[in-house]
Structure 1
Amino acid sequence: MNNPTALIESLSHEGYGIAHVDGKTIFIDGALPFETATYSSYRKKPTFENAQATSIHNDSFMRVKPKCPHYGVCGGCSLQHMEFGAQVAAKQRVLEDNLNRIGHVAPQSMLPAIYGPAWGYRHRARLSAKNVAKKGTVLVGFHEKRSSFIADMSECHILPPHVSAQLPALRELVKQLSIFDRMPQIELAVGANVTVLVFRNMEEINDADFELFKAYADQWKVQIWLQPKGPDTAYPLYPLDAPKLTYLMPEFNIEMPFKPTEFTQVNHGINRVMVERAVKMLDPQPGERIADMFCGLGNFTLPIARSGASVLGMEGSQQLVERAFESAKHNGLDHLTDFTVANLFDMNPEWLEKLGHFDKMLIDPPRDGAISLCNAISAETGPKRIIYVSCSPSTLARDANVLVNVKGYTLKSAGIINMFPHTAHVESIAWFEKE
């Protein structure tokens, strides 16, 4: 039986082409609106199917030739077949649609999208490594689409060029190690002055391994770390006198030290623009008391404190809070900042009230959003301005519904941040004001 063909009507929030066939919705990976696609379904449910486009019969005006030869097999990117400007526009529509459909809110204005270079943006990555006896080789890279197999990669255009160029050499290095089959991942962190590769070694290395690592580090000008167990066990192996791992926010005269296994923004260039926009919208003034919820290492806390406002950063991880204190001291901002450990997913009005009054608040939660925090904010005495940075339009919309329709805030503006080009991932920022 031949594979079916369908006309693509629109694009889903995940970047799949949407078609309707015999009363069913078909989500077709690799297809774009206005195209006719032949597809093969890999998941069938009573009301919908997930499918892969097997051929396209008429190219959409949005279609471009993917830059990467591994695109379509590697699961790292999902939208390289779509023109970059069209990707940004599609993400803006996802945000507007979520705010409308889930949040029952509409911003007074849509902000221009924040976007930057389409390639070489990924300063953090976790590469998998595996000895594949059948192929007689070691693979190092991202997983294949919808698979636990590792893609056979020789280059990657979303990684910085100097890292992409190392992929074949990394495969050779792992192949020569005594623990070549006990080394499942390599974590990558690119800083302002150093690139760190963290090898997850499930067994001790020997002297010959050390010499291999040393030669590799010298040749590629990187620092090698080992990680025998969890992220906290990572330590530098060679060279020990490498510069510290940092990212810079020159607009605020801030240098953020970080460890290669700690959470930091993947796209340093876009992070700088995002922080600048968030601080501009927050408009912190000397003497104001401001809360930075889900503060991490202080990515927003320290730039806000540069204004002279006093900032309380709250975060669920004791380790991140300790590191945020260190960052504040490193930048001479410890007199304007304080940090505390708190489970913000379990916030209640009494607990929030105990923290005292905040003039303004910045919220930057993970994908789960900040629903209990939004519910805890007092409609009468809550901060007059809230800037919400989101990595999930659906949870932002859900929380916006509470802030606007329950707590009485006005959604002044919202817009997207294209932090992850060529993927369907949507970051966004929203401004809520007590009129």
Structure 2
Amino acid sequence: MKQIVPVQKNETLTVTIEDLTHDGSGVAKVKGYALFIPQALPGEKAEVKVVKTKKGYGFARLMNLVDESPSRVEPPCPIFHQCGGCQIQHMDYGAQLHMKQKQVKEVMARIGKLPDVPVHPVVGMNEPWRYRNKSQVPVAFQRGELVAGFYAKRSHHIVDMDECIIQHKENDLVVQTIKRLAKELRIPAYNEEKHNGVLRHIVARYGKTTDQVMVVLVTRGKKLPQKDELIAGIREAIPTVVSIVQNINNERTNVIFGKQTDVLWGETYLYDEINGIRFAISARSFYQVNPDQTNRLYQKALDYAELTGSETVIDAYCGIGTISLFLAQKAKHVYGVEIVPEAITDAKRNAKLNHIDNATFAVGEAEKVIPWWHAQGVTADVIVVDPPRKGCDEALLNTMLKMKPERIVYVSCNPATLARDLRILEDGGYRTKVVTPVDMFPQTNHVECVAVLTLI
């Protein structure tokens, strides 16, 4: 029997918002049928227009607020309603933190079948603005001129901008400077459809503790018109710049970086510090974008590892060694593994930079390298994982269950895959003691978590 959808496309309704989705959209029910409404908040009564219907749910646009939530604030960003970068700027920061804690609790119960696991309040920021140390801005030719900004929601249309209030001001200066110079020097923007033009992305990196700036110009080919004038213009406009880099990406792809990176002027790296540990960061290094919250996140991971100085630790997705080097200060020895060769080169350099000699790094898949280490006699007391959004590889989860470390510390950027993996580890003989969410990305729907499991 065909299900009858109780709403029609383009229909205008007055609804009450009951809940929020994981991406910050309001949820209203019409005869049991869910409508998802961006920028609507729980408790609000609103006039909405249905824009799309599916069998089990639909989408609507917020037209008019009848009753407003006390958690609603005026978004300070002038392009908030067009830009797809921030989803919940219209929400009071306390309400944002509450929403993120609720989201983590719900996925622990629904996906992880762990309704009783304590989920602590979210570790928030005192000042939840201007926190990002890295900006990646696409460039295009629109309406007869070069523009650079962030993509509009669910599109590849660029919303032109000169300022982003979650970016550090130095990153804004880089974007403003490159836009101005590209126009003055007639450097053509990349055309996605025709696959021609030159400038694809402007990437800015900022070292908060060193006040150093790196400028990365992502271009379609090696040729960069007016290169010398461009370098001179950047150096004149940005006194804190220490590195100007060109990355070449000639592929028809949404991936930002290509394989070839050339230093046009200055250093290969910029430097930054987290809790006294110094990091050399190259153009393509993975480095957390919120250094203040990264410190809090990693301190929590270190607390949960409960190191006394006698433990052997394995860091299964070590990147450039950020967590590994934190752990090495308190552990007997740390073994870090990462699939990206350049990241391991950076990790070894960072260990040397900090005179840390009790860390060993290897390139490869964790699920292959760790059993090999085990065969060489390495027994882990603690395993730390910080996987990508898709979560841990199944083979790695099985490897950890076979190795049986006393504790597993799981750092996650995706609560849903965290909950899924915690369930697998629980079924394999571990118990999740606690989950602490950390707000690494204020004004957005994302939340990072750190959890600790102990062997039963």
Using the size of structure 1 for normalisation, the TM-score is 0.91
2:312 is the alignment partner of 1:312: no
3-state SS of paired residue (2:106):
helix
Deviation at 1:285, TM superposition (A): 2.4
Aligned to 2:252: none
Give the superposition deviation at 1:37.
2.1
Distance 1:285 1:231 in 2: 43
Distance in 2 separating the partners of 1:111 and 1:347: 34
Contact 2:123 2:437 in 1 (8 A): yes
1:390 aligns with 412
The CA distance in 2 between the partners of 1:273 and 1:350, in whole Å, is: 31
Q: Is 1:408 the counterpart of 2:395 in the alignment?
A: no
Q: CA separation in 1, counterparts of 2:176 and 2:436?
A: 39
Closer, same or farther in 2 for the Cα pair 1:249/1:136, shift >3 Å? Answer: same
- Residues 174 and 204 of structure 2 are in contact (CA less than 8 Å); yes or no, is this contact kept in structure 1? no
Q: Per-residue deviation at 1:384?
A: 0.6
Rate the CA distance shift 1:7–1:351 in 2: closer, same or farther, 3 A: farther
In the other structure, the counterpart of 1:432 is 453
Task: Give the corresponding residue for 1:161.
Answer: 169
Q: Say if 1:179 and 1:201, in contact at 8 Å, map to a contact too.
A: no
Question: Which residue in the other structure is 1:217 paired with?
Answer: 235
Q: Following TM superposition, by how much is the alpha carbon of 1:232 offset from its aligned partner in structure 2, in angstroms? A: 4.0
Shift in Å, 1:390: 0.3
Preserved contact between residue 131 and residue 175 of structure 1 (Cα < 8 Å)? no
Residues 161 and 349 of structure 1: is their aligned pair in 2 closer, same or farther, counting only changes over 3 Å? Answer: closer
Change (3 A) 1:95 1:350: same
Report if the CA contact (8 A) 1:138-1:172 is conserved.
no
Distance 1:41 1:210 in 2: 53
Per the TM alignment, residue 417 of structure 1 is displaced from its structure 2 partner at its CA by 0.8
Q: How has the CA–CA distance of structure 1 residues 396 and 352 changed in structure 2, closer, same or farther, with 3 Å as cutoff?
A: farther
In structure 2, relative to structure 1, the CA distance for the partners of 1:310 and 1:160 (3 Å cut) is: same
Q: Which of residues 282, 291, 298 is equivalent to 1:275? A: 298
**Other structure's SS at 1:272 match:** helix
Deviates more, 1:383-392 or 1:225-234: 225-234
Q: Distance in 1 between matches of 2:215 and 2:73?
A: 33
- The alpha-carbon deviation at position 231 of structure 1 amounts to 4.1
1:129 matches 2:152: no
> CA 1:423–1:96 in 2, change beyond 3 Å: closer, same or farther?
same
For residue 226 of structure 2, give the secondary structure of its aligned residue in structure 1.
helix
Residue equivalent to 1:143:
151
**Separation in 2, partners of 1:256, 1:145:** 34
User: Within 1, Cα distance between the matches of 2:25 and 2:437?
Assistant: 19
**Corresponding residue SS for 1:248:** strand
Cα–Cα, structure 1 residues 298 and 107, in superposed 2: closer, same or farther, change >3 Å?
farther
CA distance in 1, matches of 2:369, 2:269: 39
1:247 to 260, 264, 272: 272
Amino acid aligned to 1:157: I
Shift of 1:165: 4.6
| Secondary structure of residue in 2 paired with 1:369 | coil
Measure the CA separation in 2 of the matches of 1:23 and 1:357: 53
Distance 1:179 1:288 in 2: 55
Of 313-322 and 142-151, more deviation after overlay is shown by: 313-322
* 8 A contact 2:11–2:49 mirrored in 1: no
From 318, 323, 329, the equivalent of 1:300 is 323
1:185 match: secondary structure: strand
1:80-229 equivalent positions in 2, closer than 5 A: 80-106=89-115, 108-116=117-125, 117-132=127-142, 135-165=143-173, 167-181=175-189, 182-191=198-207, 192-205=210-223, 208-221=226-239, 222=241, 223-229=243-249
Greater Cα offset, 104-113 or 410-419: 104-113
Q: Which amino acid is 1:202 matched to?
A: R
Q: Letter of the aligned partner of 2:114 in structure 1? A: V
User: What corresponds to 1:36 in structure 2?
Assistant: 45
SS of 1:284 mapped into structure 2? coil
1:233 is aligned with what amino acid?
Answer: Q
Q: What is the RMSD of the two structures over their aligned residues, measured on CA atoms?
A: 2.2
**Alpha-carbon separation, structure 1, partners of 2:329 and 2:56:** 53
Structure 2: 5+ residue stretches without partners: 1-9, 190-197, 250-256
What is the TM-score when the length of structure 2 is the normalising length?
0.87
Asked if structure 1 preserves the Cα contact closer than 8 Å seen for 2:313 and 2:331, the reply is no
**Percent of counterpart pairs with the same letter?**
29
| Greater displacement, 294-303 / 104-113 | 104-113
- Does the CA contact (< 8 Å) of 2:181 and 2:233 recur in 1? no
Q: How many angstroms does 1:196 deviate by? A: 1.2
Q: Which has the higher contact order (CA 8 A, sep 6+)?
A: 1
Q: CA deviation at 1:100?
A: 0.9
Tell me the secondary structure at the aligned position of residue 278 of structure 1: helix
Superposed displacement of residue 137, structure 1: 2.1
Corresponding residue SS for 1:27: strand
Shift in Å at residue 375 of structure 1? 2.7
The 10-residue stretch of structure 1 (361-370 or 46-55) with the greater mean CA deviation from structure 2: 46-55
SS at structure 2 position matched to 1:151: strand
Deviation readout 1:54-94 (Å, 9 max, x if unpaired):
22222101100101001010111000000111111111111
Instruction: Tell me the secondary structure at the aligned position of residue 326 of structure 2.
Output: helix
Structure 2: distance between partners of 1:206 and 1:164: 22
| Aligned residues of 1:107 and 1:414 also touching (Cα < 8 A) | no
Mapped partners of 1:317, 1:110: distance in 2: 32
CA contact (8 A) 2:108 2:117 kept: no
User: How far off its partner does 1:353 sit?
Assistant: 4.7
Residue in 2 that maps onto 1:235: 262
Amino acid at match of 1:156: C
Cα distance in 2 between the residues matched to 1:97 and 1:27: 18
CA distance in 1, matches of 2:447, 2:423: 19
Q: 1:79 aligns with which of 77, 88, 101?
A: 88
| Conservation of the 8 A alpha-carbon contact between 1:226 and 1:235 | yes
